[in-house]
Amino acid sequence: MTKTEQISFVINTLEELFPNPSIPLTHFDAYTFLISVLLSAQSTDVRVNQITPLLFERANNPYDMVKLSVDQIREIIKPVGLSPMKSKGIYGLSEILIKNYQGQVPQSFEALEALPAVGHKTASVVMSQMFGIPAFPVDTHIHRMLYRWNFSNGKTVVQTEKDAKRLFPEELWNKLHLQIIYYARAYSPARGWDLNKDLITKTIGRKSVLKEWEFAHAKRPK
């Protein structure tokens, strides 16, 4: 296949498997989504979705959030990890939203990335999924997939994002971001990966990745 054919194959396969991918993080609006995405850093969506109902019961808007102390927030979110940094970030960004944005989440990359504990990936997820602005957030799943599919060299997430935006049509970025994540979790995980169940990688995968898997799973003579 040519690179163009490979891209079409990926898009079509993902569309067949995940035609309507839902946002996996529990949220009610842009603010609760921002908090959920922030909490998901180096954690799992499942773990975050177990914790956010407890947090949002106490505070689901910045005005109620700042009524809690950083220590109170930290105690609630402790199971998701990195709670010292995340609790300070949640409290600090809530203060800024109240002071500068009338309690609303700003709709720009620059403003979002200026908030405490909000990096480029978090801003990209919020912009794409809440405001419909084309973005291609790269998490560990997308980083792994684009390397396995030989679409990026896998050296940095910055390079992976550039390659993804160069290869895929802009109008598909927001949906593809979710589709690739769902595909990676279901068919191409980092651990317990079975190439025979991973149609896309098996069809267009990086040769070195395929050889490495085949070597690791070759039947050894008794």
pLDDT value for 218: 84
Range of the domain at 153: 3-20+137-216
Q: Is the residue at 121 inside a domain? A: yes
Of the candidates 121, 163, 175, 198, the residue annotated as catalytic is 121
pLDDT digits (tens, 9 = 90+) for 14-71: 999 999 999 999 999 999 999 999 999 889 999 999 999 999 999 999 999 999 999 9
Decide if 139 is catalytic. yes
Decide if 194 is catalytic. no
Contacts with 85 (C-beta within 8 Å, 6 or more apart), sequence order? 117
Q: Is the residue at 222 inside a domain? A: no
Alpha-carbon span 155 to 137, nearest angstrom: 16
Tell which of 114, 131, 148 closes a domain: 131
Tell me, what CATH number does 149's domain have?
A: 1.10.1670.10
pLDDT value for 154: 80
Phi, psi of 163 (to 5 degrees): -65, -40
CA distances from 107 to 97, 126, 129, 136, 203 (A): 12, 9, 11, 16, 39
pTM of the model: 0.91
Count of structural domains within the chain: 2
CB 184 within 8 A of CB 141: yes
pLDDT digits (tens, 9 = 90+) for 116-161: 999 999 999 999 999 999 999 999 999 999 999 999 998 899 999 9
Q: Is the residue at 25 inside a domain? A: no
Of the candidates 139, 163, 175, 198, the residue annotated as catalytic is 139
Whether residues 174 and 155 fall in one domain: yes
